[in-house]
Amino acid sequence: MRYAVLGTGIVGRAVAAKLSSLGHEVSMGTRDAKATLAHTEPDGYGNPPVAQWLTQHAQVRLVTFAEAAAFGDTVVNATSGAVSLKVLEAADAANLAGKVLIDIANPLDFSQGLPPSLNPVNTDSLGEQIQREFPLVRVVKTLNTMNCQIMVDPAHVPGEHTVFVSGDDTEAKKAVTELLASFGWPAGSVIDLGDITTARGTEMLLPIWLRLWGALGHADFNFHIQRAH
């Protein structure tokens, strides 16, 4: 299958690498491919520049947002939540229409400093905003409650973990659940919360996730629900 991963940060890279390793065709979208490739310094988190990463993942193509969206049968939003709507506008609604869009972004608001807050929150969510703005897209919110290493390899943390899916389209959620299984998420670990409004809840997990990261000094943990046996 063809996948478009929008975003070249650590999350987009982790997802793109996993999809490619599973034999899928992957295009990674950025605003200006030439400008992105021209960057030679590590990013603010110390990650190598995209050009260097691509030398180790030669099967992943770097193209514009619109080119990636046109290419992919399924689209993954791995951009910063604050710019997700603008990125999807750049991808072009016509290129997105009818496709499953896996939204793993969170609407973190850094305007008041650290730790960030959420915007929107409580009565709305980024997942809902995307669905309203692009009504012909089948949005599924998932994987936004954990570190990107765990997204693509739940065994990274021992034990049983839970991943959530939210969305209005049942068939889209089924397709995403199958993809999660290929990432290593057992069927029993995927909880369908319901329609896209339930994304409000999973996005609101981020503040405690960030507080835990600050308290523990690392992000190698995942939200999980203890299940009775």
pLDDT digits (tens, 9 = 90+) for 136-156: 999 999 999 998 999 999 998
Are residues 190 and 165 in contact, defined by beta-carbon separation less than 8 angstroms? yes
**pLDDT value of residue 228:** 32
Q: What is the pLDDT of residues 102-132, one digit of tens each?
A: 999 999 999 988 888 999 999 999 999 999 9
How confident is the model at residue 144, as a pLDDT?
96
Helix (H) or strand (E) holding 19: helix 10-21
| 29-44 average pLDDT score | 92
Over residues 85-114, the mean pLDDT reads 96
53-86 per-position pLDDT tens digit: 999 999 999 999 999 999 999 999 999 999 999 9
| pTM for this prediction | 0.93
Which position has the token pair 């990463």? 53
* Matching residue, tokens 């608001």: 109
Q: State the Cα–Cα distance between residues 60 and 39, nearest whole angstrom.
A: 18
CA-based torsion, 77, 79, 84, 87: positive or negative:
negative
Range with the largest mean pLDDT of 41-50, 156-165, 204-213:
156-165
**Tens digits of residue pLDDT in 163-202:** 999 999 999 999 999 999 999 999 899 999 999 999 999 9
**Predicted confidence band of residue 214 (pLDDT cuts 50, 70, 90):** confident
Residue 196 has a pLDDT of 98
**CB within 8 Å of 35: residues ≥ 6 apart:** none
